[in-house]
Amino acid sequence: MAEQVALVIGGLAGGLLPLLLLIWVSCCLWKKLRATFTYEELPGSTAASGIQGGKLYPPHAGTQPSRPPGVPFVVLPSLQDRDWVPLHRGEWAQAPRDPRLAPEPMRHPSRGSFGNAGMMGTINPELYKFLEDKSETDFPEGCLGRLWFSVEYQQEAERLLVGLIKAQRLQIPSETCSPLVKLHLLPDERCFLQSKTKCKTSNPQFDEHFIFQVSSKSITQRVLRFSVYHVDRQRKHQLLGQVFFPLRNETLAGDCPHVIWRDLEAESREPPSEFGDLQFCLSYNDCLCLLTVVVLRAKGLRLQKDPSFVSVFVKVSLMNHNKVVKCKKTSAVLGSANPVYSETFSFRADPVELDTASLSLTVVQSARGETSHQLGRVVVGPYMCTRGRQLEHWNEMLSKPKELVKCWHALCPPPEP
Domains within the chain, CATH numbers bracketed: 140-264 (2.60.40.150), 276-411 (2.60.40.150)
Phi then psi dihedrals of residue 10, to 5 deg: -65, -35
Alpha carbon dihedral 19, 20, 22, 26, in 10-degree steps, equals: 140
Q: What angle is formed at CA 260 by the lines to CA 254 and CA 265, rounded to 5 degrees?
A: 140
Question: Which residues, 6+ apart, have CB-to-CB distance to 363 below 8 Å?
Answer: 276, 278, 298, 301, 312, 313, 314, 374, 375, 376, 377, 411
Q: What is the pLDDT of residue 77?
A: 59
pLDDT at residue 267, as a whole number = 77
Q: Cβ neighbours of residue 400 under 8 Å, at least 6 residues apart?
A: none
Positions of the chain with pLDDT lower than 70, given as ranges: 1-2, 5, 13, 35-135, 175, 249-251, 254, 268-272, 369, 415-417
pLDDT at 149: 94
Rounded to 5 degrees, what are φ and ψ at 403?
Answer: -110, 145
pLDDT at position 172, please?
A: 77
Nearest CA to 282 among 404, 409, 388, 392? 404
Backbone angles phi, psi at 135, to 5 degrees: -70, -20
Q: Shortest CA distance to 46 belongs to which of 63, 70, 23? A: 63
Long-range contacts of 139-144 (CB under 8 A, 24+ apart): 139/169, 139/263, 140/263, 143/169, 143/171, 143/263, 143/264, 144/170, 144/171, 144/240, 144/241, 144/263, 144/264, 144/265, 144/266
